[in-house]
Amino acid sequence: MSSQQEKGQVSIEALREIAKSYGFFMSPQHEPEYLSVVRAAQESVEFVERMRDYVDPRLTPDIETTTPVARTYSLPLPSENPLNAWSHRTYIRAMNVAGGSGLLANRTVAIKDNVLVAGVPTTCGTQPYHLCKDKPSPISEIDAPIVSRLLEAGAAITGTSTCENYCLSAMSFTSASGPVENPWLKGYSAGGSSSGSAALIAVNVVKKWRESRGLPVGDLGDGVDLAIGADQGGSIRVPAAYCGIYGLKPTHGLVPYTGISSLFPLLDHCGPMASSVRDTALFLSVLAGYDGFDPRMTPETPLRAAVPQYHALLDETIAARTAAGMWTPQQAAQGLRIGVLKEAFQTAGLDEGVETAIRRAASRFEEMGASVAEVSIPLHLVAPHIFTAATRAYMADALLFRQGSSTASSLSFPFPGTSAPAPNQTWYDTMTASNPLVVGMLLSSELLRDRTRYPESVRDKAVRHVHELRAAYDEALQKFDVLVLPATPTVGPRHAPAGLGVEEKAGFLLSNTLNTMPFNITGHPGLVMPVGWGVVGNAEESGGESLPVGMQIVGKRWDEKMLFLAAAAWEVGGLGLDEEKVYSS
């Protein structure tokens, strides 16, 4: 029975059907009594349904202090959006922040279009009326806490960035508005699902890189200094790798996820994307800390007053090593213990050029004074199966029907004022054409929730294996300060050609996440940075073109400062995008 069918009081016949579905029958003398119990619960729900809605004032922006006039937005013209990286343009800043003050003063920021920004539509990259019954896209009345934090730090929001359809793709061609182009090479993937965020940061990186070499910049449009990304399987790190920027998936629960569309609470991460190691650290200092709402946060999550100032800690360490004469290409990494994850080089589809570039990057650490050794974690290759078994059964419920309600038993803050319609034939046809992963996720979720086939003990076992996987990485990280591995198996590929079948397209959309998704379920932080260049496709296809190669650095949970130190030390030997050699298959 749908929620809009005869609500009326429940009947004994309806209870009999429910009991039958569970394999038992109520005795006749008990039926009226159970009917009273159920009707009492029904009355409570209907009473609350009639109540006026409540929005926590901590999440409601004071428009008078954020903009001189009411918040407005616009759709960018195609001529203003050559990469299709902008979803909506706006200009929002905190009027009560003293001029030039704040950690993010005078910085421009793009917000991934699955994050609530009051007064601006949220599309989650999908088609009109998929998220809302009565308007093309919901327009939030609240700001996600991370939005409030960056405004309080003096940043200016200049728009929301295009993301993939329902944020369920690690490539960049599924958005309802069309493909997001890689700023380095149009026609190629910018990665997903934080595709627009990565591309907009890369705009300024590409311009600077080309101008310094006397090369034509091309038509890239406006970029930004910083961007918000969200990551449930690699959605910050994959686009960072493809676009040659820096992207951090923080420790699970470090940055609040309140007010951001969920895929599954165990997987949900929000983090900074930037054009340098230090800017990534700076942005994290602003975003991190307990928010009072997000059930993903734990007793280990620091209160805001206790959040490490990651950029300052990095500055202090660099200053100390500089004073000691160690911040040099020969000694900058001295004392660091670097583990090269063996199984990460055994994942399907790893390009020989990418492997060579990452191994060369790892060896640079040794040249700079670090100890470098291979470490084997066999369970890394099994992680995708654990990922699916632990999360898929409830993924459709979180993504399609209960946005903002992270779990049924925890006190999150559900999105106010939104009610998505149920999928129908039109929805199916649209999603099969644009992103069949979403349909596949819905079908498999429903199948895996069938307790006659897969009792809850099956998912319980998968969750125990999540703990086993976390323990395996933790054990390795007792011996090493960080692990290094390829972020993606290849550089950004061409957008998928038209005419791909459902199975082939669905496989392609997540084929680049085998080294990123494991750390979503274990919660370890992962930082991606550019370390060189790889030839695009095969020699015949590339025509001599190349795209950035991204290295992922993984650390202990809650030890982001070590990731920043390792990345900064590596770059003392030269920036990855300044590498002259291009690695080919």
- For 77, other C-beta atoms within 10 Å of its C-beta total 9
Output the DSSP codes for 175-216. Answer: STT-PPEETTEEEEE--SSSHHHHHHHHHHHHHHHHHHTT--
Is there a contact between 235 and 170 (Cβ–Cβ < 8 Å)? yes
For residues 200-215, one letter each, b for 16 or more C-beta atoms within 10 angstroms of the residue's C-beta and e for the rest, the string is bbbbbbbeebeeeeee
Task: Count the alpha carbons within 13 Å of 243 in the hemisphere toward its beta carbon.
Answer: 42
- CA gap 115, 122 in Å, rounded: 7
219 phi-psi bin (left φ>0, alpha ψ -120 to 50, beta other):
beta
- CA gap 52, 484 in Å, rounded: 52
- CA gap 138, 573 in Å, rounded: 48
Is there a contact between 273 and 226 (Cβ–Cβ < 8 Å)? yes
Clarify whether 20 is annotated catalytic.
no
Pairing of strands 371-375, 526-535: unpaired
Report helix, strand or coil for 252.
coil
For 421, which DSSP code? P
Annotated active-site residue in 87, 112, 140, 556: 112
- CA gap 525, 554 in Å, rounded: 6
Provide the H-helix boundaries in 51-165: 63-66, 145-152
Annotated active-site residue in 235, 262, 434, 546: 235
Clarify whether 261 is annotated catalytic.
no
The candidate with the shortest Cα–Cα distance to 286, out of 320, 316, 248, is 248
Longest dimension (CA), the chain: 88
- Nearest-Å Rg of the Cα atoms of the chain is 24
**C-alpha 331, offset from chain centre:** 34
Clarify whether 193 is annotated catalytic.
yes
Annotated active-site residue in 140, 148, 189, 193: 193
Tokens 């997987």 found at? 267
The candidate with the shortest Cα–Cα distance to 229, out of 197, 277, 265, is 197
The candidate with the shortest Cα–Cα distance to 554, out of 468, 495, 480, 463, is 480
CA torsion, ordered 493, 123, 411, 192, to nearest 10 deg: 10
User: What residues are labeled active site?
Assistant: 112, 193, 235
